[in-house]
Structure 1
Amino acid sequence: MTDDPRQHDGSPADGSPGDGSPALRSRRSGPRRELRAVHALVHRELLRLIGERTRTALVLVQPVFYLLLLGGGLASVIPDRTVGGDYRAFLFPGVLVMTVQAPAMGVGMRLIIDRESGYLRETLMAPVRRSTLLYGSCLGGTTVATTQGVLLLALTTGLIGLPYHPALLAVLLLGMILTAFTFSALTLALAVRIRTVETFGTVLGLAMMPLLFLSGAFFPLTALPSWVAVLTSLNPLSYAVDALRRCIMHYAPGHRAVGGPEWAGWQPPVPLELGVLAAAGAGALLWAARRFARPE
């Protein structure tokens, strides 16, 4: 009769961790638990998107209004040389940014509502890191916001005379993903510091509209006073709008991109603009995760 090299608990007789040891099982299941938590939070956001079809449709109404009515009306008034071509094509990147803005900002609002209702306290009892819950919320908000942006992109690209070119759509999708991610991260960074929905809404109202107007979404940045150039160069949304606009103008015959952010008279290329946007979102999310990880 041979000696069994394992003890009754499944670990080797010499005391070293085996396949069945609790420590090893914990190490193996840890990453899976974190991923399951992220998946659950993303799934929650997608279920809310599917269950609120009317609200989703209403969110798309405002960007379509700006693009077709405001853009169509001003296109006959604003000279083409001022905006580099048809004003609707100039306005389109700003409309895409507006489309992903609203659902991305909703992530921070839900974090505060969950805190007030006690749902967040129950969620924090899950055997995962606090930062993982914040990452999952950010990914969920990014996914929902990008989905709504894709819907608008599919509905309106042809209406303003732009081609459904695969390369153009891929670049616009990447830009919307990074914009949605940055919006979600920024609103979460606010939400971890603000305790009430009313204060959060007020702060967003004061912050987001200036960010949009200083992004060049509605008019070229060259039309602003020179001292405002410093603010536009610090605004991450100005890089999102300009990167999308320069990609669109590349595929729009007779159009050219005008009025983007500059660094001492030098305009950064599109990859660098997207990199600045991603870095701003990552920095905001890491700060928010570090702050959120502290026990309350």
Structure 2
Amino acid sequence: MATKLTFETAPPTVAPRAADLFAVIYREYALLARNRINLILSLAPMLVYLLLVNTSLSNLVGSISYRGADLRFAVFLLPMVLAMSIVSASGTSGVALFQEELSGVATQLWSYPMRRSRFLLGKLLAGVSLVLGQSLLALGVAALIFDLPFGLEGWAGLLVALTLAAIAFNGLYLAAAITITDFQTFMVLSNVSILVLVFSAPSMYTVDQMPTVLQWISAINPLTYAINGMRDAALFGFADAWVNLLVLALIAMVTYGVAGRALLNRARNL
């Protein structure tokens, strides 16, 4: 006579879901952090501008007047260096998406019985944390090199603006990588966009010093709001930066909505 097996407790249902999410996050970290080429491409522009351009121009220019405050040029340029770090790291996150598709890994991942929402959430969390981590590294190096005159509220405002900028631009490049299906097109767009975004924003100069055409372009340039948000929050506090922070939050909401829908549609075609 066969013995009937019974269980006193139901099998766990929450743990596998958490395990799936943690597995996706761990895989994204490994994909982005262990690739030396990706790390070099994302770190090199930030280090060049921080260690060479920033120090050289600071000695050349000396100080600059910004919204009635006289600033050392090194302090004025800091948001530009942080923004370049964010853009470079966000572009690397987009490249990683193409790498996993070209290697066939994406097909295997989407064939695994896992909720797509957890896969998308894990990819977003890993991408944002890596972008933010690299930007914090740049901020730490800058704090060691330059004497940053920020108070407690200034540091808090800078960190909030930096976090929002990392979230917004990671979403922007992720949406572009998912929408654009050709890898070479994305690579050209990613590399060219860094220069266009940085130099059409008030990064090395104030808006009043820019030509009229560039002032118009800077108004629709998302990096303008990241740079102004970090600069104003660090120097004057949240009250002077809330408009820029709100724009960054709206950019993040729109881009992640586009990226999420596009990624799910793209997965169905694999």
TM, length-normalised to structure 2: 0.81
1:279 and 2:263 matched: no
- 1:210 & 1:155 partners in 2: Cα distance? 25
The aligned residue for residue 135 of structure 2 is 149
Q: Distance in 2 between matches of 1:269 and 1:167?
A: 12
Aligned residue in 1 for 2:157:
171
Q: 1:62 is matched with which residue?
A: 45
**Counterpart amino acid of residue 259 in structure 2:** A
Unmatched 5+ residue regions in structure 1?
Answer: 1-7, 11-18, 252-267
Partner of 1:106: 92
* Closer/same/farther in 2, CA of residues 49 and 117 from structure 1, 3 Å limit: closer
Pairing of 1:1-296 with structure 2 (within 5 A): 29=13, 35-48=18-31, 51=34, 56=39, 59-78=42-61, 80-82=63-65, 84-163=70-149, 166-250=152-236, 269-294=240-265, 295-296=268-269
Is contact 1:157-1:163 (8 Å) kept? no
| Matching residue's letter, 1:286 | G
Amino acid at match of 1:211: L
What is the alpha-carbon distance in structure 2 between the residues aligned to residue 271 and residue 32 of structure 1? 39
Change (3 A) 1:289 1:159: same
CA separation in 2, counterparts of 1:202 and 1:44? 26
- Give the whole-Å Cα distance in 2 for the aligned partners of 1:9 and 1:76: 78
Structure 1 residues 80 and 90, CA gap change in structure 2 (3 angstroms): same
Please report the RMSD computed on the Cα atoms of aligned residues, expressed in angstroms.
3.1
Deviation string, structure 1 residues 68-126 (Cα, Å, up to 9, x no partner) = 43222222433634554211111101101112222221121111121121101111123
Count residues in correspondence.
259
Distance 1:291 1:48 in 2: 21
Per-residue Cα deviation, 1:134-186 (whole angstroms, up to 9, x for no partner): 33212211111111111222222142211575543333222222222112111
Matched AA of 1:283: V
Identity, % of aligned pairs?
Answer: 24
Check whether the contact 1:214–1:221 (CA below 8 A) recurs between aligned residues: no
Higher percent of residues as helix: 2
The alignment partner of 1:157 has SS state of helix
Contact 1:38 1:137 in 2 (8 A): no
Letter in 1 for 2:98: I
Q: Give distance in 2, aligned partners of 1:243 and 1:128.
A: 38
Pick closer, same or farther for the CA change 1:51–1:234 going to 2, 3 Å: same
Q: What is the SS of the residue equivalent to 1:176? A: helix
Q: Structure 1 residues 174, 45: CA separation in 2 closer, same or farther (over 3 Å shift)?
A: farther
For residue 188 of structure 1, report the CA deviation from its aligned partner: 1.3
**Residues 130 and 292, structure 1, Cα contact 8 Å, conserved in 2:** no
In the alignment, the residues of structure 1 paired with residue 25 and residue 211 of structure 2 have an alpha-carbon distance, to the nearest angstrom, of: 42
**Contact kept in structure 2, 1:94 and 1:241, CA below 8 Å:** yes
Offset at 1:200?
Answer: 1.1
Task: State which structure, 1 or 2, has the greater radius of gyration over its C-alpha atoms.
Answer: 1
User: TM-score of the superposition, structure 1-length normalised?
Assistant: 0.75
Aligned letter for 1:125? Answer: S
